[in-house]
């Protein structure tokens, strides 16, 4: 499933206040959020009955209640809210790679878990990084072979 493409402007003063008052929030909220920041919905594609959701801050608390920006509608018709929500407890076990990934969304989120949502831009960046790492590794080969 593809990622939802909704984007919205952050209500800056409101978001700073939420960051400043949340448990485990950033020490200096202005460092965590830029005034002109745009937020992307991170959920899988969904219909209008479901609110969009963008992750704002990973709380530094034992119970991991992160700050999310939730909204529906656009422009003057936007309805939004900031909420601290606990993490989705779902885990994905990759039996071939022997890795376990946690879902990046909040508990009781609509739609599929984060690993089932593809972000074309994110995938492109990951691919680029992998290519870069391969390039650096192959450049390092002569040293490992003792040719100096
Ligand atoms: Zn959305
Ligand atoms: Zn989930």
Q: What is the H or E stretch that residue 91 is in?
A: strand 91-94
Tokens found for residue 135: 């390039």
**In angstroms, how far is the first alpha carbon of the chain from the final one?**
49
Report, as an integer, the average pLDDT of 47-74. Answer: 92
pLDDT tens for 18-28 read 999 999 999 99
Strands 7-9 and 38-40: antiparallel
Kindly indicate the confidence band of residue 140, based on its pLDDT and cuts at 50, 70 and 90. Answer: low
106 Cα to the center of ligand 2, angstroms = 7
pLDDT tens for 105-123 read 999 999 999 999 987 666 6
Q: In what order do the strands lie in the sheet with 79-86?
A: 52-57, 65-72, 79-86
87 Cα to the center of ligand 2, angstroms = 8
Give me the residues near ligand 1 (ion), CB cutoff below 5 Å: 4, 6, 41, 43, 52
Kindly indicate the confidence band of residue 138, based on its pLDDT and cuts at 50, 70 and 90. Answer: confident
State yes or no: pLDDT of 41 exceeds 70: yes
Q: Mention every residue, 6+ apart, whose C-beta is less than 8 A from residue 11.
A: 80
The CA R_g of the chain, rounded to the nearest whole Å, is 19
In this structure, the chain runs to a length of 148
Ligand number with the minimum distance to the CA of 87: 2
Nearest alpha carbon to residue 69 among 122, 9, 2: 9
- What one-character DSSP code corresponds to residue 1? -
């Amino acid at each position: 499933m593809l990622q939802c493409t909704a984007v919205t402007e952050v209500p800056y003063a409101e978001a700073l206040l939420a960051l400043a008052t949340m448990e485990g929030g950033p020490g200096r909220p202005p460092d965590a959020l830029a005034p002109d920041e745009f937020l992307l919905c991170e959920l899988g594609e969904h219909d209008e009955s479901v609110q969009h959701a963008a992750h704002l801050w990973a709380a530094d608390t034992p119970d991991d209640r992160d700050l999310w920006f939730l909204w529906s509608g656009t422009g003057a018709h936007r309805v939004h809210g900031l909420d601290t929500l606990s993490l989705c407890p779902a885990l994905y076990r990759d039996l071939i790679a022997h890795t376990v990934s946690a879902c990046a969304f909040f508990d009781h989120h609509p739609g599929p878990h984060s690993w089932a949502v593809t972000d074309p831009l994110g995938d492109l960046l990951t691919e680029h990084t992998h290519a870069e790492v391969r390039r650096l590794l192959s450049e390092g080969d002569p040293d490992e072979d003792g040719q100096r």
